[in-house]
Amino acid sequence: MLPIALVLALAAPHAVPFEITNNKTWVQVKVNASTPQWFIFDTGNNGGSVIDRECADRLQLKRGAEQDAHIGAGSGAPTGISQITQPVQIEALGETLTVVEPTVLALQHVSRIEGRRANGLVGADYLSRNVVVIDYVNRTMTVRDVKTYTPPAGATILPLNLDLGWPVAEATVTMPGGTPMQCRVIVDTGMRGTMTLFRPFSIRHGLYEGAELHDLVLGAGAGGMTHGDIDRAETIAFGSVTFKNPVISFARDTTGIFSIDAVDGIMGGELLRRNRVTFDCPHQRMILEPYDQPAGAFEADMSGMTLDVRPKATMRSRSSASSRARPPRRSALRPGTSSSRSMVVHSSRRTWRRSRSASASKARRSSSASCAARPVRK
């Protein structure tokens, strides 16, 4: 973790608006009193807050030599890493902290997948010193006083293990017809999906064999694209909070975080957004407050294809990756090819209808029709 030279005191707690894109939380951050920059509020970043290379250069922050590195989830993306050679002030959610030699990463591949510029990542250096309440329904974050914060009555309090820098919670996953599986998962506001179980855990429990959809693109992380299988669990439980019939995925990555055995998996925004979530890392706990209104069916993009948007191409998109096992068969799109926006959407929908049938039929056997899989809302 990067050293923190200074933490300024907070004023009275107040709610700060944030934005949601692809189930990820985006907050405005000032770097050395700059104009606001959009950062992903990323609890899955177990190091210090990160500044995108383009943003650092635009703000004329001097940095050292860049080195190749493999970090985060996924593989195949250029992830050059360097350090800013001077302390930098980062202001987020009303608090300013000074970071000595913050990390600079090339995040342009993240921006392309998200469809908006990611100027950086707020990381564990922020969470380790604050209690942060994320209200997904009202789209506000509130930083509470560490010394006086008390969880609301009736809330579910879950212990967090922070030994690896990530907030790790214990969960129980039950597949249809299977026995409950205990697992330790990273709680990641920077992940769009429900839960992905990592490769070693998936192999030990034979999860690939029973999956409905195989070897699809699951998404993209700081290290590039991620691949795996998709199925539907019977339940995912965190203490007394139980999610019924959620979509779940099993990573096939052989490099990056999704291939490690130190933890068993990762949970993301598609689960988190169904609760008001409080990260109280100073006291090693997470507080969940389910909303009164149901959040609706669990969603997952099962098209087998991921699109990224390239600069200077306002009317064109690029097929950055597709299912290696089952590319879209009714179009000429292949990984790395370009097409007009309307053609890409048409192909994606037709492919999704075929992919959806298997998972949706399984959902009907275990849940009401309202839980049938749907593509992610953009």
Express each pLDDT in 127-152 by its tens digit: 999 999 999 999 999 999 999 999 99
Distances (CA, A) of 353 to 300, 346, 369, 374: 13, 11, 16, 10
% of the chain surpassing 70 pLDDT: 71
**56-70, 159-173, 201-215: the lowest-pLDDT one:** 56-70
DSSP labels, 49-61: -EEEHHHHHHTT-
3-state DSSP call for residue 158?
Answer: strand
What's the first-to-final CA gap in the chain, in angstroms?
A: 33
CA–CA dist 218, 228 (Å, integer): 6
Return d(Cα 336, Cα 359) in angstroms, integer.
Answer: 27
Mean pLDDT of the chain: 80
The bridge status of strand 213-221 relative to strand 120-122 is unpaired
Tokens 């944030």 correspond to 18
- Relative to beta strand 103-105, strand 50-52 is parallel
Please work out, in degrees rounded to the nearest 5, the angle formed at the alpha carbon of residue 294 by the alpha carbons of 290 and 300.
Answer: 100
Residue 374 has pLDDT above 50, yes or no: no
CA distance 353 to 350: 5
**How big is the chain by its Cα radius of gyration, in Å?**
20
Tokens of 306: 């991921």
User: What are the residue boundaries of the structural domains of the chain, listed by start?
Assistant: 4-144
Kindly state which CATH superfamily the domain 4-144 is placed in. Answer: Acid Proteases (2.40.70.10)
353 in Cβ contact with 373 (< 8 Å): no
Give CA–CA dist 43/102, Å, rounded.
Answer: 17
Reported confidence tier of residue 273, pLDDT bands at 50, 70, 90: very high
Token output for 230: 């998709």
User: Tens digit of pLDDT for each residue in 94-128?
Assistant: 988 888 888 998 888 888 888 899 999 998 999 99
CA distance 26 to 235: 29
> Using a CB cutoff of 8 Å and minimum separation of 24, what contacts does 14-19 make?
14/94, 14/142, 15/135, 15/138, 15/140, 15/141, 15/142, 16/93, 16/94, 16/140, 16/141, 16/142, 16/143, 17/139, 17/140, 18/134, 18/139, 18/140, 18/141, 19/139
Helix, strand, coil percentages for the chain (3-state, nearest 5):
15, 40, 45
Asked if 347 and 331 count as a contact pair (C-beta separation under 8 A), the reply is yes
Q: What's at 150, amino acid-wise? A: T
Instruction: Tell me the whole-structure pTM to 2 decimals.
Output: 0.80
CB contact set of 161 (below 8 Å; sequence gap of 6+)? 167, 168, 169, 184, 284
Distance CA 22, CA 113 (A): 10
The confidence score (pLDDT) of residue 338 equals 53
pLDDT at residue 350, as a whole number: 33
Provide the pLDDT for residue 67: 80
For the chain, what percent of residues have pLDDT higher than 90?
A: 56
Query: Does the structure show a pLDDT above 60 at 181?
Result: yes
Mean pLDDT, range 42-58, rounded to an integer: 93
